[in-house]
Structure formats: C-alpha cells, structure tokens
Amino acid sequence: EAQVTQNPRYLITVTGKKLTVTCSQNMNHEYMSWYRQDPGLGLRQIYYSMNVEVTDKGDVPEGYKVSRKEKRNFPLILESPSPNQTSLYFCASSSLAGGRYNEQFFGPGTRLTVL
C-alpha cells in the first residue's frame, strides 16, 4: 500500500530534550515536506526537500533541522524543543514528474507536546 508513515504518533517531552520525528514514504517520491498545524494559523511549511541531499527552509524553520540522506526518509529534528513547538506535525510527499509538484500525500500526523 502506498503510504507516508510517521513515528511517533504522539509524544510528550520536556523542554530541551532532543527528539526526532521520523517520516518515510514508499512511493519513490522526490519531494518531501514537513508542516505544523496550529489553531488559528492553519498548516505552515517548516522544511522541504526536492531530492536526496537537497533541503530548503519553508515558512517557519526556526528551531528545526532536517536531513535527506535517503530518498524514502525525511526526519524532523528538534535539537532543543521549547513549549512553542507544541503542535500537530505532518509529513508529506509527492512526485516531481514533469518538473512540477504533483498530488501530495500526507502522513497520519504526530501530536507533540513540549512541557
């Protein structure tokens, strides 16, 4: 089954404790992206990647890191989480066939709480 998976689905942590949220897709998509969703602010893009070893900042990259060492994986790293990073996080992927974004597929979401 074609899908985007994220782990963990739920996480409660404390300020300053480094964490990683994993994202994996099995559709051989070139493009992958991370979003956060907050009440009243909608979905905002954190980072995206056009292919292996190619990443760039989205609208709200501060406090986050990403890497793209393999085509299927795009982990999101919070080196020193703070309470303002409490949010619902989504990973997404799409193909870049024809040099343009095609349909995006989203993972199930990770609900993060930073105390």
Partner 1 sequence: GIQVEQSPPDLILQEGANSTLRCNFSDSVNNLQWFHQNPWGQLINLFYIPSGTKQNGRLSATTVATERYSLLYISSSQTTDSGVYFCAVVNSGLDGYQKVTFGTGTKLQVIP
DSSP 8-state secondary structure symbol assigned to residue 68: -
Nearest to 60 by CA among 34, 39, 80: 34
Residues in the interface with partner 1 (CB under 8 A) total 20
Tell me the C-alpha distance between 77 and 73, whole Å. Answer: 13
The least distance separating partner 1 from the CB of residue 69, rounded to whole angstroms, comes to: 22
Nearest to 113 by CA among 8, 26, 40: 8
Indicate the residue among 9 and 17 with the shorter CB distance to partner 1: 9
The least distance separating partner 1 from the CB of residue 112, rounded to whole angstroms, comes to: 12
Contact residues: partner 1, CB under 8 A: 33, 35, 42-45, 48, 56, 88, 90, 100-106, 108-109, 111
